[in-house]
Structure 1
Amino acid sequence: MIRTFYRLLIELTNGRWSSSILRRFARSGLSRFIIPSFAKIYHLNQDEMEKGLHEYPTLHDLFVRTLKKEAREIEQSHNSVVSPVDAVIEDVGTIKESSEIVVKGKVYSIKEMLGDHERLTKYLNGTYMILYLSPSHYHRIHCPVVGTVTKQWTLGSKSYPVNKWGLKYGVATLSKNYRVISELTTEFGHVAVVKVGAMFVNSIETTHKGTQLKKGEEMAYFSFGSTVVLLFEKGIFQIASFIQTPHDIKVGEKIGVLSK
């Protein structure tokens, strides 16, 4: 019963009013009373949290928790790409010349996702990767490469669920949802980190300062489960051979390499 309640309110909600109520509740002191059951239902790893469970004053604070410094090791090979999030890699593939990708049997437009035709061109015939975060995951987003943020922009006004059901049955969730896009320039080429909001709360907060980012450096956080889409310029990315979707991954783990 409790699990069903959480799924309805946190994973499946897509109404404006219900999402607004959820957001207010999650940020209120009342929500602290459900933190123990939430942690139990979603099997949160309390050993890696920076604080003890009783130290989080609201459910929102638990969602955006930070981890102990030693909890995630960042793979530091010169040309490696690491996972920016704790997530499930749901899909990887080639961006068609038409800018389309197919995820869970649905067609999405990278052109619509980026909303910038000039920047789109370099990604045609490149690679995309979809990383889904559930409510159980650590919600901070880290930089997957060493690079310079050349542009950061926001698109969309509404957000619908981006779990596997939302991807399969939703209305172009990846390319229409509220999203914050960061384009990075590396010595190998361009990488776009598309942070896709879940539900109407549009809760993506940017945390990095400046434009120079190290691999593994924090970029932003989600307040609720959501999705990150990585886009790689044509010909620069090769996925790690051991990754077969769906694949559980953690921040800092190698997902592939870049080459010129």
Structure 2
Amino acid sequence: MQKWVYRFFIELTNHRLSSMLLKKFSQSRVSAILIPSYAKIYNINQAEMEKSLTDFATLHDLFVRQLKLNSRHIDSNENTVISPVDAVIEETGMITANKEMIVKNKHYSIQEMLGDENSLAKYIGGTFVILYLSPSHYHRIHSPISGVITKQWDLGWKSYPVNRLGLKYGKDPLSKNYRKITEIRVNDTYVAVVKVGAMFINSIETTHTSDFVKKGEEIAYFSFGSTVVLLFEKDRFTFSPEISPSTNIKMGEVLGTLNKER
């Protein structure tokens, strides 16, 4: 019953009109009146922001804020994989032989998430990590490794919440929501960076201009809180011991290590 009520409410509110109105409002100067209360409610760390709170013309500008130089330490070890975002680690695990990952006791189709058979084959038996960005987080996305972008594609058009309730009761938001996928190759291994849109505002804007990206380089941003899923090939990635669900992590901190070449 709880699942049905949750989905019914989301369907009533999650339509193009409501999304358009919310997006238009957040990008209007009228929305600036909410900036002080938003910063207070979500405990925004103003000390690390590139601009002061009064310099933001709209609420959207605050959503996509940039940080002061050196606000994040980027681990420089050649083999490490860093978190591409400030986030909460929602889940880690293995990609099953059935082409699924299990999150909050729900089975999510990696095949549906990627929508590409050629890309899918590489990740069966591999590892995944889900990074959830709340409205309080810094919303810009950075490359988790240094490498070559071999492919980038979009899927989906509608988005459901990707918070804990959304993952538990929603309509498979990680594999059905609007998403922008970037595949990066480093040496002979691939990492898929799946950027998943949030409810109401599906905006995922890419910012990189080259096919080669450096670890820690900005590659995109969300216009609202959302989720990033990283997919790794079988036997090619080892998590750091301190990484576990419900852990907070900042962009640049180590998620784990890429294993040596085959």
TM-score, length basis structure 1? 0.94
1:68-101, Cα deviation, whole Å (9 max, x unpaired)? 0111010010100000000001000000011111
The residue type equivalent to 2:100 in the other structure is: E
Residue 7 (structure 2) aligns with: none
Distance in 1 (CA, whole Å) between partners of 2:239 and 2:193 is 16
Unaligned runs of 5+ in 2: 1-12
2:223 pairs with 1:247: no
Which residue is 1:167 aligned to? 167
Q: Does 1:215 align with 2:229?
A: no
Asked whether 1:143 is paired with 2:140, we answer no
Equivalent position of 1:198 in the other structure:
198
Q: Secondary structure of the equivalent of 2:18?
A: helix
Question: Who is 1:227 aligned against?
Answer: 227
Count, aligned residues: 249
1:8 is matched with none
Deviations 1:196-223 (A, max 9, x none): 0012431100000111000000000000
What is the SS of the residue equivalent to 2:75?
Answer: coil
Offset of 1:16 from its aligned partner?
A: 3.2
**Shift of residue 33 of structure 1?**
0.5
Q: Partner letter of residue 180 of structure 1? A: K
Matching residue of 1:75: 75
Question: How far did 1:243 drift?
Answer: 1.2
Q: In 2, distance between residues paired with 1:16 and 1:45?
A: 32
Alignment partners' CA distance in 1, 2:157 and 2:42: 29
RMSD: 1.2
What letter corresponds to residue 116 of structure 1 in structure 2?
A: D
Residue 187 (structure 1) aligns with = 187
Letter in 2 for 1:168: K
Secondary structure of the structure 2 residue equivalent to 1:54: helix
Alignment-derived partner of residue 86 in structure 1: 86
In the alignment, the residues of structure 1 paired with residue 189 and residue 70 of structure 2 have an alpha-carbon distance, to the nearest angstrom, of: 30
2:97 aligned counterpart, secondary structure: coil
Quote the Cα distance in structure 1 between the aligned partners of 2:84 and 2:14: 26
* Percent identity between the two aligned chains: 60
Structural mapping, 1:29-108, within 5 Å = 29-108=29-108
User: How far 1:188 moved relative to its partner?
Assistant: 4.7
Where 1:167 maps in the other structure, the secondary structure is: helix
Ranges of 4+ aligned residues in structure 1 off by more than 4 Å = none
Report 1:125-136 matches (<5 A): 125-136=125-136
- In the alignment, the residues of structure 1 paired with residue 98 and residue 233 of structure 2 have an alpha-carbon distance, to the nearest angstrom, of 15
Runs of 5+ consecutive residues of structure 1 not aligned to the other structure:
1-12
The code of the aligned residue for 2:108 comes to Y
CA distance in 1, matches of 2:194, 2:210: 18
Deviation at 1:246, TM superposition (A): 1.1
Contact 2:206 2:219 in 1 (8 A): yes
